[in-house]
Amino acid sequence: MLLITRDMPPEVLARARREHETRELRLTGRFEARHVLDNIAGINAILCIPADKFDAALIKALPGTVKVIGTFSVGMEHIDLDAAAARGIKICHTPDVLTTATAELSLTLMLMAARRAGEGERILRAGRWQGLAPTHHLGRGVAGKTLGILGMGRIGRALAEMARGLNMQVHYRNRQRLPAELEQGATYHADDASFLAVLDFLSINAPGGKETFHWLNAERLALLKPGAIIVNTGRGTTIDDDALVAALCTGHVAAAGLDVFANEPEIPPGYLTLENVVLLPHIGSATIEARNAMGFLALDGIKAALTS
């Protein structure tokens, strides 16, 4: 029997029901281990999302019937992989199929932040627009600017390709330098200081977890050129929010576009009153195409794990 923690796109749910007996929790908001443990009898597979934290304690408490956890995400930082391996529980996730959608959202945030789109919409909705004026609401263009990508995996590379189409120069930081055919002319930086110093835009496309925790802290923010713009569609934990709020208040960082937050669905209150921040509700992969493909891929992985 398949335990599905959250509501799923209709076609994904239909396929899940065809292939498995399902127990559907339709949880919303904050996840607690008891949501799973209270409903675990007879379950051999679980379909979850990044908000569902399968830490070592929860994995240890799962009964031996559970053979696989499929996550409706490319990110797996919410699952303790070592604990799962120790219990012989297989893990599957959904890489590739959300690459374009997430890169598109990074670009959306870059353009929205650079052109002050959120602020402009708020002015109109509040009835405060006084008509076109040559000096009104000036933003920044992206053409000819440098874009730094932290995390040059599939999503980072898809964003780089889009940015090249906009005539941006791409720089990147990654665990390793990429081969030339993947680099496509982007400039690799072996250290943060040289990377951050040349950027007009910084896009975070790296995975979450311990390795990137608070990577963008006060020290690294200070290394950015004044007036840089930051977007994040990776994980909220990569940014030290207090440090970013402070840099947005002084204007050292001109604007930010954020789709992910450390403690979702909570938004650090400092962002809420700043006009120069665009905030989105973790919709990087939220196209119908990508979300269906993610569900199907997770179901493929679950089926393969149960039949192997």
Catalytic residues, which ones? 235, 264, 282
The rounded distance, in Å, linking the Cα atoms of 92 and 80 is: 13
Check binding of 295 to ligand DGY (CB under 6 A): no
**Residue with Cβ nearer ligand DGY (159 or 248):** 159
Check binding of 5 to ligand DGY (CB under 6 A): no
Check binding of 284 to ligand DGY (CB under 6 A): yes
Give the shortest CB-104-to-ligand DGY separation in angstroms: 13
Give the shortest CB-99-to-ligand DGY separation in angstroms: 10
Check binding of 238 to ligand DGY (CB under 6 A): no
- Cβ neighbour number for residue 133 with a 10 Å cutoff: 8
Residues 57-116 that bind ligand DGY (CB under 6 A): 73-75, 98
Phi and psi torsions of 94, nearest 5°: -130, 65
Strand partners, 71: 48
Give the shortest CB-49-to-ligand DGY separation in angstroms: 7
Residues 6+ apart with CB under 8 A from 55: 33, 80, 83
**Residue with Cβ nearer ligand DGY (151 or 284):** 284
Q: And the tokens for 126?
A: 């509040």
Check binding of 232 to ligand DGY (CB under 6 A): no
Q: And the tokens for 55?
A: 């830490």
SS3 193: helix
Residues 6-25 that bind ligand DGY (CB under 6 A): none
Check if the beta carbon of residue 245 is closer than 8 Å to that of residue 270.
Answer: yes
Letter for the amino acid at 205? Answer: N
Check binding of 298 to ligand DGY (CB under 6 A): no
**Residue with Cβ nearer ligand DGY (199 or 301):** 301
Q: Could you tell me what percentage of the chain is helix, strand and coil, using 3-state DSSP and rounding each to the nearest 5? A: 40, 15, 45
Catalog residues that contact ligand DGY under the rule CB under 6 A: 50, 73-75, 98, 284-285
